[in-house]
Chains A and B, each alone.
Chain A
């Protein structure tokens, strides 16, 4: 499939190394739950509102509450020109796949006809935004005190020429011989709740990449747990 070799990452990371990460919980006081997650130069803010009444009423589910995810890039958060506010097809799709990645761990059976809204905003981006969004949103849901069976942690893995790499930045994501695979994992079961791919990959390479993702999310999950515990430590 490829003849070239990817020798070295531009920022000097090892092929399986994440960018530096930061996590913080409870940053938006008016929200019911909130979190900030930063990985390299990609930064996601997540705020949870609800459960609250869902209007219009025809959208309500009498059996359980519904989850809505809103993904949005701030106008100055792109790598080139200004991002026009108001969303587009891409942000709609991302809202849907992020919601699906969180649904397996969240239980809204106690809240018929209600909605939980998660708003995710990016002050800055350098690839991996949907993964950062999921990692931040899981913390924000936990911060809101909703019933969850676990957190969800997410990272992009992929292939650049002959190498499997973890946590691609923008220059790698746009590499002409690059394949990008955003993955979300439920840490306690190892199940996968987000899986997308753009580019070419053999089956063997795919599983190699998934294994790398499983290793990487162990660290992300530890960072999430620490941020959640820190908030309650600070409040004591």
Chain B
């Protein structure tokens, strides 16, 4: 479907979208756990027609010299060319890097994972949690889908067994990741003077600006990212945060 920008603004002002949703209405979210046996934890998130898979691999290595008492955390995002005619093979583009960094910061800055509990021996050996998110079908709003998918995969993760200093990937223990917070990202989009959430890929392409707001359970903000070429007023940011907190609560419950 090709949507005209002018018409989209007009219908949003009347409180409805082309697919029948209200401006601040999400599509149906489905979260499935344990979708790949190769990862130590995994989840598939379906948001309308958008599909993303996240998987967690657990590795051991020497801690960084400046944080000898901590393990590591890494979040990657792969916008696979399989997922959209607009993606291309090759090194990650600007958008892929931005998605990965926004999800990574949401999880890191909320201290979601207690990295001190990933330590095995001080300055010698620690676990690194590597979460990768892959887009299977990009039907819009992969930022929010990615954030939920990575959280779900982390919740699904169990440590593999450590034999000496080597990981035995065939033997999985019952021990889960030390998760302290559940930082959920919700992106609010702006077009003209209208605000809306969870765009389809057509709607996403028309938006003037967006603000990704990551919040923890009590509503405290832990990461922000503004995107798009138009500016935002303080009043708009105020409204966007309220919208994001409201949806984050609902999304957190679906985990």
Q: Which of A's residues lie within 8 Å of B, judged by CB?
A: 27-31, 34, 41, 43, 45-47, 49, 52, 70, 72, 74-82, 85-86, 117, 119-121, 123-126
> With contacts A49-B81, A72-B80, A119-B80 known, what are 5 further pairs, Cβ within 8 A?
A27-B137, A76-B36, A78-B38, A123-B53, A123-B134
B215 to chain A, nearest CB (A): 27
> Is B42 touching A76 in the complex (CB atoms < 8 A)?
yes
Residues of A close to B56: CB separation below 8 A: 76
> Is A43 touching B36 in the complex (CB atoms < 8 A)?
yes
| Bound Cα distance A31, B134 (Å) | 16
A174 to chain B, nearest CB (A): 12
> Is B82 touching A28 in the complex (CB atoms < 8 A)?
yes
> Is B81 touching A79 in the complex (CB atoms < 8 A)?
no
A140 to chain B, nearest CB (A): 10
Known A30-B84, A41-B38, A79-B169; contact A74-B134, beta-carbon cutoff 8 A: yes
| Bound Cα distance A112, B120 (Å) | 59
> Which 10 A/B pairs are nearest by Cβ-Cβ distance?
A76-B55, A119-B82, A76-B39, A124-B36, A75-B132, A47-B82, A82-B57, A124-B38, A123-B36, A28-B137
A115 to chain B, nearest CB (A): 12
| Bound Cα distance A80, B160 (Å) | 11
Does B59 make an interface contact (CB < 8 A)? yes
Residues of B close to A43: CB separation below 8 A: 36
Does B164 make an interface contact (CB < 8 A)? no
The residue of chain B having its C-beta at the shortest distance from the C-beta of A32 within the complex is B85
The residue of chain B having its C-beta at the shortest distance from the C-beta of A40 within the complex is B37
> Is A77 touching B169 in the complex (CB atoms < 8 A)?
no
Q: Residues 11-48 of chain B: 1 if any A CB is under 8 Å from the residue's CB, otherwise 0? A: 00000000000000000000000011111001000000
The residue of chain A having its C-beta at the shortest distance from the C-beta of B53 within the complex is A123
Does B208 make an interface contact (CB < 8 A)? no
Does B206 make an interface contact (CB < 8 A)? no
Does B49 make an interface contact (CB < 8 A)? yes
B231 to chain A, nearest CB (A): 31
Does B126 make an interface contact (CB < 8 A)? no
Residues of A close to B76: CB separation below 8 A: 75, 85
| Cβ 8 A contact of A77, one of B38, B83, B201 | B38
| Cβ 8 A contact of B134, one of A81, A121, A126 | A121
> Is B57 touching A30 in the complex (CB atoms < 8 A)?
no
Does B207 make an interface contact (CB < 8 A)? no
| Bound Cα distance A47, B137 (Å) | 10
| Cβ 8 A contact of B38, one of A30, A70, A76, A119 | A76
Q: Residues 122-138 of chain B: 1 if any A CB is under 8 Å from the residue's CB, otherwise 0? A: 00000000101010111
Q: List 17 A-B contacts (CB under 8 A).
A: A28-B82, A30-B85, A52-B85, A70-B89, A74-B78, A75-B78, A76-B38, A76-B57, A77-B38, A79-B169, A82-B130, A117-B81, A119-B80, A120-B82, A121-B134, A124-B39, A126-B37
Known A49-B85, A70-B81; contact A75-B130, beta-carbon cutoff 8 A: yes
Residues of B close to A79: CB separation below 8 A: 38, 169
Residues of B close to A120: CB separation below 8 A: 82
| Bound Cα distance A63, B138 (Å) | 33
B167 to chain A, nearest CB (A): 8
Residues of B close to A124: CB separation below 8 A: 36-39
| Cβ 8 A contact of A45, one of B38, B132, B136 | B136
| Bound Cα distance A27, B136 (Å) | 9
Q: Residues 209-251 of chain B: 1 if any A CB is under 8 Å from the residue's CB, otherwise 0? A: 0000000000000000000000000000000000000000000
Does B139 make an interface contact (CB < 8 A)? yes
| Cβ 8 A contact of B55, one of A28, A74, A86 | A74
Residues of B close to A72: CB separation below 8 A: 80
| Bound Cα distance A161, B80 (Å) | 40
B93 to chain A, nearest CB (A): 13
A82 to chain B, nearest CB (A): 4
Residues of B close to A117: CB separation below 8 A: 81
Known A82-B132, A85-B76, A86-B91; contact A31-B82, beta-carbon cutoff 8 A: yes
The residue of chain B having its C-beta at the shortest distance from the C-beta of A125 within the complex is B38
> Is A47 touching B36 in the complex (CB atoms < 8 A)?
no
The residue of chain B having its C-beta at the shortest distance from the C-beta of A77 within the complex is B38
